[in-house]
A and B are shown apart, each in its own frame.
Chain A
Amino acid sequence: MGDESRHKTIFEVVPGDKLELFQKWFSDTIPHNKALGLVVTAVRKGGATMRLDWQPHLVGNPETGVLHGGAITAMLDSCSGMAVATVLTKAQPFATLDLRIDYVHPATPGQPVLAEAECYRLTSNVAFTRAVAHHGDPKDPIAASAGTFMLGTKGKAAVGPHAVRVAAEKGRGA
């Protein structure tokens, strides 16, 4: 590996359709994200967007049909994690250290929720993220979050050459 490619992100060097790959890495092969039905709608270096459709079993208030905060929490955590993955320059596992979420406005029952996350700073140990959940206008959010992720935690990297192989194998099996 030359000096130049060492500074490139995995996102830039990974072959194939990036949206399809990240859908596999961050939804299809993560049981809880798959159970929620998270759909990766866009991915770029430093940012990610996802969609969560309203579903009756995700309701927190049975009188109003408003989604439970827990489903939004899981979505913002996943979407922020995916934003971190797009800026990594080497395959390494990472884990959420903390996540702060402001619930600005209740989600509208029946409407899909979109999440937009960005990783705005990457250091050798910690990645910093911010994200919003909204119904189509990020300036009118349902929730806003700030998160930090520890890099180089134990386990296997979710993203990288190994994960490309895993995704390919799972793709064949499905």
Chain B
Amino acid sequence: MNLLDRLHAARKAGDVSRLGEAIPYARWMNMAPENTTGELLTRMRYHPQLIGNTHLPALHGGTIGALLETAAIFHLLWEMDNAALPRIINITVDYLRSGRPVDTLARAAFTKLGRRVASVAVEAWQEDRSKPVGAAQIHFLVTPVK
């Protein structure tokens, strides 16, 4: 089953968590989308392999960037009808706080959804949503279903 078919099946079942299983990197990084509270969030479950600084300890900045990008992809897959998988053009990540060794959540929102380009804003936080650990602005090439 390809990713878009899997997406249709997940939509039918109303269970976005099935989407995470389809992407090997997301599985390896312990990242999965969830919509248990009615809003689409992506969770990166804490794992010792995510650490970048063993002294603090703190999550590797790259893992926060990767979570922000993955959350945006899940948002695009779930919130719009795609004729093909979205392709990332660029990402700008702001690192706002060091990530502690706990679960990290991310929420994406469209800044603008055009016919070819989607601009997505994403924020990631840990226990306190008002204290984000990172934020990103990302552009994707998209192929909306006409």
A and B co-occur in one complex:
yes
Residues of A within 8 A of B87 (CB): 103, 106
Which residues of A approach B to under 8 Å, CB–CB? 29-35, 56-63, 67-71, 73-78, 93, 95-103, 106, 153-156, 158
Chain B residues with CB under 8 Å of chain A are: 2-3, 22-29, 48-56, 58-63, 65-67, 69-70, 85, 87-95, 98
C-alpha spacing A94/B56, complex, angstroms = 12
Given A32-B52, A96-B95, also A74-B63 (CB < 8 A):
yes
Cα-based distance from A14 to B63 in the complex (angstroms) = 30
The 6 A-B residue pairs with the shortest CB-CB distance in the complex, in nearest-first order? A74-B62, A70-B66, A68-B25, A32-B60, A35-B49, A57-B28
Q: Contact check, A32 vs B63: say whether CB atoms are below 8 A apart.
A: yes
For this complex, 16 residue pairs linking A to B, each with C-beta atoms less than 8 Å apart, are A32-B52, A33-B60, A59-B23, A63-B2, A68-B24, A68-B26, A69-B88, A70-B65, A70-B66, A73-B69, A74-B63, A95-B61, A95-B95, A97-B94, A101-B91, A103-B91
The answer to whether A101 touches B22, judged by C-beta atoms less than 8 angstroms apart, is no
Q: Give A28 to B70 CA distance when docked, in angstroms.
A: 26
Cβ contacts under 8 Å, A29 to chain B:
54
Q: Which residues of B contact A59 (CB under 8 A)?
A: 23-25
Q: Decide: B90 and A102 in contact? CB cutoff 8 A.
A: yes
A52 to B25, CA, bound (A): 14
Task: Look across to chain B and name the residue whose beta carbon is closest to the beta carbon of A63.
Answer: B2
List of A residues within 8 angstroms of B95 by Cβ: 95-99
Among B22, B62, B94, point to the contact of A73 (Cβ < 8 A): B62
CB neighbours of A70 from chain B (8 A) = 25, 29, 62-63, 65-67, 69-70
